[in-house]
């Protein structure tokens, strides 16, 4: 078990700043995911932890000790890539034994360890098979066993499932989490797939343009995005430009709420902490957090707004509704039996009740 710290690490390639002052403190046994779009610096960050890329600036520490000058093979890390690259000419057994043989471990130890690994991935009966005689999912499990056999201090995963089909990805992500939980090893997992990140992480670090935009639990990231990028990248969201009119008095320890005005709408949402009256903001509200009410149920409260249904799409388990509210198009997703009552409401006036509303600064408006 190892604590991993990244302290202001950066990597410059020519004029490209691939990683820009990343800080992270990952606890012993924690499972952290770097989530972000292609090109945001995830792989470069992971490879710096592995020692395969040298940082231009900053420090990497394992258990408090700076490892910048420790070569990759001495960092004792396990690395899993998209292409698991099993040795095609070696059996499952020999593939898993490989790292231990290189280390010169005694033969009896190797045998015990490989057996243990085979049991863990439930492939004991396939020890003598060649990789080509295994399914894609079985091959990836052998790759995981090979990575764990040498008992690394830290597990690093770079999009290990992205070459597999969806069903296999769904089962294997839980196998990875299960192996990590059982071995209690610190893990850093890189992906651009949010469903993967949400399913398996203790904490998610959302990356954008070489920086960590927000680090937090799944709930923090999903319900309390701190930046426009995070709110837009994770899940589906409505982004409504608005201006802050006031701060709602709150009790100590409770999140501060802001009153904002967007077109003709009075909205109220949680404040990430850096916003003042008069600021231009974006109000985010998720389509699944909006209720469609009867037009007659109009009440004069924040987050209850008039609208007119423009479009209804039945998608089976959900119904997607597009509502024009004071000239702003708002996406609503409705599920459960209530969704069926919406189907005949096209072109009708309705009320929307917006819940779990988040306010973030509109950086484009601030810059302008
Ligand atoms: N060896 C390299 N030489 C030059 N530029 C690189 C190199 N590796 C990555 N980059 C650039 O650094 C940025 C981040 O890349 P990467 O870490 O691979 O992103 P991700 O894994 O999030 O897709 C990209 O703009 C990429 O083109
Ligand atoms: Mg990558």
- Which range is least confidently modeled, 156-160, 166-170, 217-221, 325-329? 166-170
Return all residues near 310 (Cβ < 8 A) that are at least 6 apart. Answer: 322, 323, 324, 329, 346, 347
What is the DSSP pairing of strand 257-262 with strand 265-270? antiparallel
- In this structure, the number of other CB atoms found within 10 A of the CB of residue 175 comes to 17
Query: pLDDT per residue over 246-277, tens digit each?
Result: 999 888 888 789 999 998 899 999 987 778 99
Gap between the Cα atoms of 34 and 233, Å rounded: 13
Q: Are residues 245 and 195 in the same domain?
A: no
The mean per-residue pLDDT over the stretch 307-318 comes to 95
How many C-beta atoms lie closer than 10 Å to residue 333's C-beta? 18
Mean pLDDT of 85-103: 93
- The mean pLDDT value of the chain amounts to 92
pLDDT at position 338: 87
Same domain flag for 62 and 136: yes
* Domain identity same for 55 and 204: yes
**2 Cβ closer than 6 Å to some ligand 1 atom:** no
Return the higher-pLDDT residue of 166 and 199: 199
Cα–Cα distance list, 311 to 48, 182, 241, 244, 331 (Å): 48, 49, 22, 30, 10
Would you say residue 100 has pLDDT above 90? Answer: yes
pTM confidence score: 0.87
Same domain, 26 and 71: yes
**Using CA positions, which residue lies closest to atom 8 of ligand 1?**
44
% of residues, the chain, pLDDT over 90: 73
**What's the pLDDT score for residue 271?**
86
CA distance to 303, 321, 322, 365, per residue, from 325 (Å): 12, 12, 10, 22
CATH value at residue 137: 3.40.50.300
For ligand 1, say whether the CB of 44 is within 6 Å of any of its atoms: yes
Please say which residue of 172, 201, 223 terminates a domain. 223
Q: Does residue 316 share a domain with residue 170?
A: no
Ligand 1 touching residue 208 (CB < 6 A): no
Distance CA 325, CA 245 (A): 19
Considering the domain architecture, whether residues 72 and 153 belong to the same structural domain is answered as: yes
Ligand 1 closest atom vs CA 53: 1
Query: How far is Cα 149 from Cα 107, in angstroms, rounded to an integer?
Result: 14
Contact 183, 2 (CB under 8 A): no
For 29-38, 63-72, 129-138, which range has the lowest pLDDT when averaged over its residues?
A: 129-138
Q: What is the mean pLDDT of residues 124-152?
A: 92
Q: What CA–CA distance (Å, rounded) separates 18 from 40?
A: 7
**Predicted local confidence at residue 365, as pLDDT:** 67
Whether 215 and 255 map to the same domain: the answer is: no
Is 341 domain-assigned?
yes
């Amino acid at each position: 078990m190892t604590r991993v710290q990244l302290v202001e690490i950066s990597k410059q390639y020519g004029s490209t700043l691939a990683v820009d002052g990343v800080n992270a403190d990952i606890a012993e046994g924690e499972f952290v995911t770097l989530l972000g779009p292609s090109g945001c610096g995830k792989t470069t960050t992971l490879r710096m932890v592995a020692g395969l890329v040298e940082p231009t600036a900053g420090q990497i520490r394992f258990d408090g000790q700076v490892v910048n000058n420790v070569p990759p093979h001495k960092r004792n890390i396990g690395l899993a890539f998209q292409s698991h690259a099993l040795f095609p000419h070696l059996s499952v057994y020999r593939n898993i034994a490989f790292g231990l043989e290189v280390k010169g471990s005694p033969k009896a130890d190797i045998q015990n360890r490989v057996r243990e690994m085979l049991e863990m991935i439930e492939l004991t009966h396939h020890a003598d098979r060649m990789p080509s005689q295994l399914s894609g999912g079985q091959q990836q499990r052998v790759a995981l066993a090979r990575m764990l056999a040498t008992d690394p201090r830290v597990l690093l995963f770079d999009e290990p499932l992205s070459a597999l089909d969806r069903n296999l990805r769904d089962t294997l992500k839980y196998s990875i989490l299960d192996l990590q939980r059982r071995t209690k090893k610190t893990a850093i997992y890189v992906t651009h797939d949010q469903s993967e990140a949400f399913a398996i992480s203790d904490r998610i670090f959302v990356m954008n343009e070489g920086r960590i935009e927000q680090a937090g639990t799944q709930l923090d990231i999903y319900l309390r995005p701190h930046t426009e990028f995070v709110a837009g990248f994770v899940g589906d969201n409505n982004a409504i430009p608005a201006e802050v009119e006031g701060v709602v008095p709150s009790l100590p320890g409770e999140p501060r709420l802001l009153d904002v005005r967007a077109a003709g709408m009075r909205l109220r949402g949680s404040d990430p902490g850096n916003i003042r009256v008069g600021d231009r903001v974006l109000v985010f509200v998720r389509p699944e957090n909006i209720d469609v009410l009867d037009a007659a149920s109009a009440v004069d409260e924040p987050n209850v707004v008039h609208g007119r249904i423009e479009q209804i799409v039945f998608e089976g388990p959900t119904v997607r509704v597009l509502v024009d509210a004071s000239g702003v198009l708002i996406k609503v997703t409705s599920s459960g039996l209530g969704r069926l009552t919406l189907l005949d409401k096209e072109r009708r006036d309705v009320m929307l009740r917006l819940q779990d509303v988040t306010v973030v600064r509109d950086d484009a408006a601030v810059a302008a």
